[in-house]
Chains A and B, each alone.
Chain A
Amino acid sequence: MKKSVFLGTLSLTALVAGFASAATLDDVKARGTLNCGVSTGVNGFSAPDSNGVWQGFDVAICRAVAAAVLGDPMKVNFITTTGQTRFSALASGEIDMLARNTTWTFSRDTDLKFTFAGVNYYDGQGFMVKKELGVSSAKELDGATVCIQTGTTTELNLADYFKSNNMKYEPVPIETNAEAQQQYLAGACDVYTTDASGLAATRATFADAENHIVLPEIISKEPLGPLVRQGDDQWADIARWTLNALIAAEEYGVTSANIEELAKGTENPEINRLLGTEGELGAMIGLDKDWAKRAIKAGGNYGEIFAATIGEATPIGLARGLNAQWTQGGLMYSPPFR
């Protein structure tokens, strides 16, 4: 009899363990911190600064979600993941969301059971070479040795690109961006390939950045965005609409400078709904009225975050390009807050 009680308890534990991960919002609130998966260090996207505080474009998304959910953008526990470990970390529940320049693909969305919260950076894969090689096009790379981060979409694009152009190459598989940088600089590979934004970020850290060029070919579409586990729609909604709030804030001219002013109420009902002075949008995703206001205050709107982390005024110096607002000829477009 004792045995059956014991087994019964065990199976109950197993069941509880099985369903405990269902409500991520409650878990995060109970824990008091957001576990956010980031890269092991890509300058401008996610890297600790000299004080050990994580900074960057992807980090800002984590901070905005933490601000929306917990009220404090600093209550984020950053967990570093490599290209290989990131999905296991998210699937196992070690992290609540992943903001690690991860490409939104069909199989990741469906087969790997993740939900992408949107796109925070429209990117494409590029190639970086040393100027002294005298290469001006990716089509001239036949026979080159290519450093590549394993477990990424770039690995697959690379294979496809060289195959379709009938060229050969020698892949040098590498775990992290830092290692790739080291190998590339040591000349162990001729070419480093990753998303063009990552190349720009890496190149910006070189002492002799002017001796390296990014080739003009962009060989793939890489819509990068934050993602969460599939099956918890409320949590996915929070991540998605936090990102949308940042994008919408830029569109409507809500900045970290004028947000307090605007939060007192404006003539524009869309801004009012966004900032919680009108309607009950927050309650619909299980948060309070000021969620979006806090998210925007954390690091500013999408444009402010872009300018502060990877924009043209920073060493990385990326132009907005595809990532401009749709009103400016870009692809950043938030569905209406209504």
Chain B
Amino acid sequence: MATMPDVRKDGFRLSMLLYDTRYRSITLQVIFLVLFAAAAWWLIHNTVENLKALGKDFSFGFLTVRSGYDINQRLIEYSSDSPHWRAFLVGLLNTLLLAALSCVTATVVGVLAGVLRLSKNWLVARLMTVYVETFRNIPLLIWILLIFAIMTESMPAPNAFRGENPASSMLLFDSIAVTNRGVYVPEPLFTRSLGNLDLGVFLVSWDLLVIIAVLLACVLANRALRKNAETVQNATGVRPVTWWKSLLIFLVPLAALKFALGFHLGLPELKGFNFAGGTHLRNSLIAMWFALTVYTGAFIAETVRAGILAISRGQSEAAAALGLRPGRIMSLVILPQALRVIIPPMISQYLNITKNTSLALAVGYMDIRSTLGGITINQTGRELEGMLLMMLTYLVISLVISMAMNLYNSSVKLKER
């Protein structure tokens, strides 16, 4: 509008709320806010009224009641005598385990596929294109069901391993058994175990904590060694040889720890109906993990490819002109810049993985949707409370992942001075 309307100070009319540009946006915002509040109020009111009509109350008391059902995969102590909140916790840990495993493997698969898709090798690049287009364009649930069906239908049953001339045999020196009930792998055992640390809610193995602490110390020591080498290189121009020192830093403490704890592998062996001993990776876990990995990996591959393509050709040419080798060009010049493009969409992929774990119900993986959102709700009839609790849990997990990734993002993004 070219001319402002001529407004007298005392001349406020109601119609100006709509026709005067000074008030219009405020009027519209107020109207939308009222409508939104009314809709929210209506939803809540309707729920309350209908709950009243059904004679149901709203209470989370059911969480302390004995659950009465068993869960096959549990990372913490749980039995049918445990309360429902513990079943919820078992499910939550299963969700987090699956999400963490899938995030790691999907990233590895995705980065590899993304980089290889840019390869100059025609066959490799085309193969990666086929992988990306196949996996990203078929629904995840179908992949999950397909992998689950392959595992249960085509793998041998445990009793095929029995007898003098068994129809199937274990892999890798009789240490891994692939059956239609899942894969049994050796488990770490400690003859001089340090026992468990009681955290009140659950127990944590001291062995695990000690191993993590020692590994962390090794990593820090190695980092100090490399930093020292760098200082020497900057001062003298010659980088001291570090590889055998690094190797020693890792191997010596770990070997000492292995001896101190009496570490050995517990192999799976046939006992009764199933294999006993070893760690049992159930079909449901494998199907979910594998499907989430290859499905999300295809998306991550595209993100990585986009990130690398976003870096102009001049950058790598300039680096090459400075005499850097191709590997160093990738790690020192291309990737640090590409990461700024890659990380933000990567956050969404990690969130997708976490939320997609709720498809686990389809193959009976006991995640939070199957324990709290499935059996608990069904046995107690607390749909509303259970669903709200589940929504809240997913929301919190997602926000935490988001926050962590945003912190990482701000650490790698371009520092402006």
**Chain A residues packing against B (C-beta within 8 Å):** 3, 6-7, 10-11, 13-15, 17-19, 21-22, 83-84, 87-88, 91, 107-108, 111-113, 133, 141-145, 150-151, 155-156, 158-160, 162-163, 169-175, 183, 186-190, 229-231
Contacts and interface: CB of A to CB of B under 8 A. Distances in A.
Most buried by B among A11, A145, A150: A150
B153 A186 contact: yes
A83 B378 contact: yes
A88 B383 contact: yes
Interface of B: 34, 38, 41-42, 45-46, 49-50, 52-56, 68-72, 79-81, 152-153, 157, 180-181, 271-274, 276, 283, 361-362, 364, 366, 370, 374-375, 377-381, 383
A231 to B, nearest CB: 6
A143 B273 contact: yes
5 smallest CB-CB distances across A and B, nearest first, come from A18-B49, A151-B378, A112-B381, A159-B80, A187-B157
A190 B377 CA distance: 28
Contact of A151 (B50, B52, B273, B374): B374
Given A156-B68, A158-B70, 8 more contacts: A17-B49, A18-B52, A151-B375, A151-B379, A160-B80, A174-B364, A186-B152, A230-B54
Contacts of B366: 173
A112 B362 CA distance: 25
A163 B80 contact: yes
A155 B152 contact: no
Contacts of A144: 272-274
A206 B42 CA distance: 52
Contacts of B361: 175
B38 A6 contact: yes
B38 A7 contact: yes
B374 A84 contact: yes
A170 B274 contact: yes
16 contacts: A21-B53, A84-B375, A133-B273, A143-B274, A143-B276, A150-B375, A150-B378, A160-B68, A162-B70, A163-B79, A171-B70, A171-B72, A173-B375, A175-B362, A186-B180, A231-B54
Contacts of A174: 364
A101 B383 CA distance: 21
A68 to B, nearest CB: 25
B199 to A, nearest CB: 26
Contacts of B362: 175
A89 to B, nearest CB: 11
Nearest to B50: A18
A15 B49 contact: yes
Contacts of A188: 152, 157, 180-181, 283
Contact of B272 (A3, A143, A158): A143
Given A11-B45, A17-B46, A22-B53, A87 B378 contact: yes
A263 B361 CA distance: 52
Nearest to A13: B42
Given A113-B55, A160-B68, A188-B283, A84 B378 contact: yes
B380 A14 contact: no
Contacts of B34: 3
Contacts of B70: 158-159, 162, 169, 171
Contacts of B80: 156, 159-160, 163
Nearest to A229: B54
A186 B49 CA distance: 48
A160 B66 CA distance: 12
Contacts of B374: 84, 150-151
B69 A91 contact: no
B364 A14 contact: no
Nearest to B35: A6
Most buried by B among A3, A156, A173: A173
Contacts of A230: 54-55
Contacts of A7: 38, 41
Nearest to A153: B379
A114 to B, nearest CB: 9
A327 B379 CA distance: 36
A189 B283 CA distance: 12
B48 to A, nearest CB: 9
Nearest to B378: A151
A7 B40 CA distance: 12
Contacts of A175: 361-362, 364
A118 B210 CA distance: 60
B273 A91 contact: no
Given A145-B274, A174-B364, A14 B49 contact: yes
A283 to B, nearest CB: 27
Contact of A171 (B71, B271, B283): B71
A170 B364 CA distance: 13
Nearest to A20: B53
A11 B379 CA distance: 33
- Name, among A108, A160, A162, A186, the residue most crowded by chain B CB atoms within 10 Å (CB to CB): A186
Contacts of A171: 70-72
Contacts of A160: 68, 80
Contacts of A183: 152
Contacts of B380: 107, 111
Contact of B50 (A17, A108, A172, A190): A17
